[in-house]
């Protein structure tokens, strides 16, 4: 018997909704990355998009441990010489809480065309509890260890 390789007709995509309130950022991001990549399914194939969609709500209420809110910095460059810009995690959580989760999940995906496609198509992050994806009929999803103290 040969190795199983998923084909497009084998793949069934679902949508899940995750409430990020009180969850630790890194633990939440690893679980989300696993789901949108499809590693939780027995038909996982590395070169195919076997993952499911994830809608994250309450991104502004995500938790970080230690002194990461003050010490962790996000880097961006304006394109001009010497114009590197750094933003702390605390500031980013206040201004753009969605980007914090998006960047954490992006860091856990492969840096390939498939990784970028999966992130763009399968991850939706919202700062509060409202989301416009009722038509996808998302199932609630909770993680046993993502918010442990």
**Residue 145: what pLDDT?**
67
**Domains in the chain, start-ordered, CATH in brackets?**
15-64+98-141 (3.90.1180.10)
Q: How sure is the predictor about 142, in pLDDT bands with cuts at 50, 70 and 90?
A: confident
pTM across the whole model? 0.92
Contacts of 23 (CB under 8 A, 6+ apart): 62, 63, 143, 146, 147
Q: Is the dihedral of CA 25, 26, 29, 30 positive or negative?
A: negative
Q: How sure is the predictor about 125, in pLDDT bands with cuts at 50, 70 and 90?
A: very high
């Amino acid at each position: 018997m040969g190795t199983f390789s998923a084909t497009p007709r084998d793949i069934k995509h679902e949508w899940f909704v995750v409430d990020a309130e009180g969850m630790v950022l890194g633990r939440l991001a690893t679980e989300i990355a696993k789901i949108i990549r499809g590693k939780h399914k027995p038909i996982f194939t590395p070169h195919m998009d076997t993952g499911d969609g994830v809608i994250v709500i309450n991104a502004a209420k995500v938790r970080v441990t230690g002194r990461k809110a003050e010490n962790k910095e996000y880097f961006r460059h304006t394109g001009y010489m010497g114009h590197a810009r750094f933003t702390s995690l605390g500031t980013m959580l206040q201004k753009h809480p969605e980007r914090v989760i998006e960047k954490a999940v992006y860091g856990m995906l492969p840096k390939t065309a498939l990784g970028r496609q999966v992130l763009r198509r399968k991850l939706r992050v919202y700062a509060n509890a409202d989301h416009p994806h009722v038509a996808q009929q998302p199932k609630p999803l909770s993680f046993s260890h993502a918010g442990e103290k």
